[in-house]
Amino acid sequence: MIERHRLARHRRLLAALGLGLALPLAAAAALGVAAWLATPGVADLQARVAGLASARGSSVLAPGAVPPQLAQAIVTTEDERFYQHHGIDVIGLGRALLFDVSHGCLCQGGSTITQQLAKDVYLGGSDAGPNKLADMALALKVELHYSKAQILADYASIVGVGIDRYGMAVGACDYFGVTLDGLDLPQAALLAGMPEAPSAYDPLAHPAEAAARRAHVLDAMVAEGDITPAMAAAAGAAPLVSASARPATCTASPPG
């Protein structure tokens, strides 16, 4: 009799747990469907990127125009599972949520590069409130229609790289006097780290903060096995900005 009551209690507990999980999952699914239906299609992504690039004075990069080392630095810093996910990094999102809950803050967004691109292009740069679901839906749509190389090129074309500077080709030109193909490791690491807080990491206005951010990127690249500790140490000791930078004469990478 006691065993029968115990089994019945376990069944009730399991049923309650199942219901407790099913309800939020169903609500999340409903919200996801609503966000998908409410957000626009992304066939005009390239036109929108071109419009933003023109307004911001940057160049539209062709797929594959982001040099491998710069691409490596960007992905390692901003979205380490970029080549594995389909617009949303569930692992990164869960980790960010746990961090925020445990620290009582909204410190980490867990946004992928694709989400950042969608937010910038379709949502005016804001993912506050309902826009968070919208940028997830848009990121999934973007990944269904465009290659990773295209997404990375679009992101690098319009992202902030300092105070009133946009596009990594512009950053390479203004800070170092080179095209993207001419970037070395310390320069690539500096540019890759700037989008998180472009104004705060502007090497001309805030050199100490920019150097610390570059060091963070280099450390992340070492942790991922992208570079060796010796390479990171040498890059971390390099000047932040080239004294020979020539903003007036440097030619940015050609449009895509």
Is the Cβ–Cβ distance between 75 and 83 less than 8 Å?
A: yes
Return the DSSP state at 166: B
* Per-residue pLDDT at 215: 98
> How many whole angstroms separate alpha carbon 185 and alpha carbon 175?
14
Spell out, as residue ranges, where the chain has pLDDT lower than 70: 1-32, 94-110, 243-256
What are the pLDDT digits (tens) for 4-17? 666 556 566 545 54
The gap from C-alpha 49 to its chain's centroid, in whole angstroms, comes to: 16
Q: Note the pTM of the prediction, 2 decimals.
A: 0.82
Is the C-alpha dihedral spanning 174, 180, 184, 187 positive or negative? positive
> How many whole angstroms separate alpha carbon 98 and alpha carbon 56?
36
CATH of span 39-236:
1.10.3810.10
> How many whole angstroms separate alpha carbon 146 and alpha carbon 254?
20
Is the C-alpha dihedral spanning 78, 181, 151, 53 positive or negative? positive
What are the pLDDT digits (tens) for 117-171? 999 999 999 888 778 889 999 999 999 999 999 999 999 999 999 999 999 999 9
Residue 157: its H or E element: helix 148-158
> How many whole angstroms separate alpha carbon 116 and alpha carbon 96?
15
Ramachandran region, residue 187 (left: φ > 0; alpha: ψ -120 to 50; beta: rest):
alpha
Helix crossing, 148-158 with 68-78: angle to 10°?
80
Beta bridge partners of 160: 166
